[in-house]
A = this chain, B = another copy of it.
Amino acid sequence: MPDTLALEGALTRLDRFTIEVPSWGFANTGTRFGKFLQAGAATTLEEKFADAALVLALTGVTPSIALHVLWDLPRGLDGVPEVARLVEKYGVRAGSINPNLFQDQEYKFGSLCNPDAGIRRRALEHVLYSVEIARLLGCRDISLWLADGSNYPGAQSILHRIGWLETALLEIHSALAGDQRLLIEYKPFEPAFYHTDIADWGMASHLARAAGPRARVLVDTGHHYQSQNIEQIVAWLLHLGLLGGFHFNDRRYADDDLTLGSIDPYQLFRIFHEIPSTDEAEFANVAFMLDQSHNIKGKIEATIQSVIVAQELFAKASVVDHSRLAELQSAAKTVEAEECLRAAFWTDVRPALTAWRERRGVPCDPLRALAESGYVAKVERERGSRNAVLQSSYA
């Protein structure tokens, strides 16, 4: 079992581990069968910043909030000063900028891959516009999730769409300023059910390489085939210098967007295990972000719970005895190597985390602190009437 020294080292690494929360994690979301509306859900950008500020205050490790261009900056560039004001007011940085290429009716047959050149152009311009917003807000990362695809065999030319995509990403990359990065996300299906233009890490990494050196791949842990080995993909992306970051969540079946670690905590532990936290510069290149759909759990509650789980599993991965493990792996001592890894997983890091939180001046038990704060009850009263307008949950 890891000794005190190992735990100390783990906690040091924990000091560098921050997580970005998504603005939409505080808003009402659901499934196609409906949303279960929460009276305290955030509807304005300021409410999202306020909620994010609370999560930061209670956990100490979520310094930034991911923004969604269409939902959070509906007025586009004109919305930038307001974001700047909220950043200043709430002490939460603007994080990754997320263009939206799936919501407009004209994207029915695709955005950057639409067979209509005019629509492709408008989609491209939306992304370029998002890059500009990011530049003005000083945001490093543009997170590109493309819902493009088709639902029926023969409906679209898979091959032509690859070409259109490459062209568009090249143009987007050339618009990046300074140290900005383009993070390319992949997803096997949904909302497209026959083919999705960026379906797996292989496609995303080829596209990133073709786009340019500041394009990287974004791994959403829920965007894989059943049984696919995600930690191996992470190892490959690190090997290729292409790992840009994570959208964290958990899933059992499809892209369920459950809170991370809720279904398979051992897997998330193994993902953390692949990321060498010792190289500070490379570690800083990996953006850790939540991207979940809090339909059943309370929005803020779910966010805080997820942050805690991420910290616990990261801490467990940090107490792995790497030198001993490397030796056992070299000697192909299967059982002993496995037990070496597993010893870290079974280590109860909760007491150490409590101590770490005390040192950082945040509540030892952030979930209890949330309950005791009365914040949720307060915002339910304040925001409830606005949320009640929505009569039905059916999507």
A28: min CB distance to chain B, Å: 10
A263, B194: Cβ atoms closer than 8 Å: yes
The answer to the question of A30 belonging to the interface, with a C-beta cut-off of 8 Å to chain B, is yes
Interface string of A170-194 (1 = CB under 8 A from B): 0000000000000000001111011
| Cα separation A332 to B149 with both chains bound (whole Å) | 12
Interface string of A36-73 (1 = CB under 8 A from B): 11000000000000000000000000000000000000
Count class of interface residues, chain A: 35 or more
Which of B105, B147, B193 is the one whose CB lies under 8 Å from A252?
B193
Which of B163, B239, B270, B293 is the one whose CB lies under 8 Å from A159?
B239
The answer to the question of A385 belonging to the interface, with a C-beta cut-off of 8 Å to chain B, is no
The answer to the question of A18 belonging to the interface, with a C-beta cut-off of 8 Å to chain B, is no
B195, A232: Cβ atoms closer than 8 Å: yes
Which of B37, B194, B270 is the one whose CB lies under 8 Å from A153?
B270
Smallest CB-CB separation from A302: which chain B residue?
A: B335
A215: min CB distance to chain B, Å: 16
Which of B1, B35, B367 is the one whose CB lies under 8 Å from A395?
B35
B235, A274: Cβ atoms closer than 8 Å: no
Which of B116, B254, B342 is the one whose CB lies under 8 Å from A154?
B342
A36: min CB distance to chain B, Å: 4
A254, B254: Cβ atoms closer than 8 Å: yes
List of B residues within 8 angstroms of A301 by Cβ: 335
A367, B339: Cβ atoms closer than 8 Å: yes
A341, B158: Cβ atoms closer than 8 Å: no
The answer to the question of A283 belonging to the interface, with a C-beta cut-off of 8 Å to chain B, is no
Given contacts A33-B147, A116-B332, A226-B226, list 17 more A-B pairs with CB under 8 A: A31-B32, A32-B32, A33-B102, A33-B103, A36-B108, A103-B393, A150-B334, A151-B334, A152-B258, A156-B337, A201-B202, A202-B236, A206-B236, A301-B335, A305-B335, A339-B367, A346-B350
The 5 closest A-B pairs by CB, nearest first: A202-B202, A154-B341, A225-B225, A395-B395, A193-B256
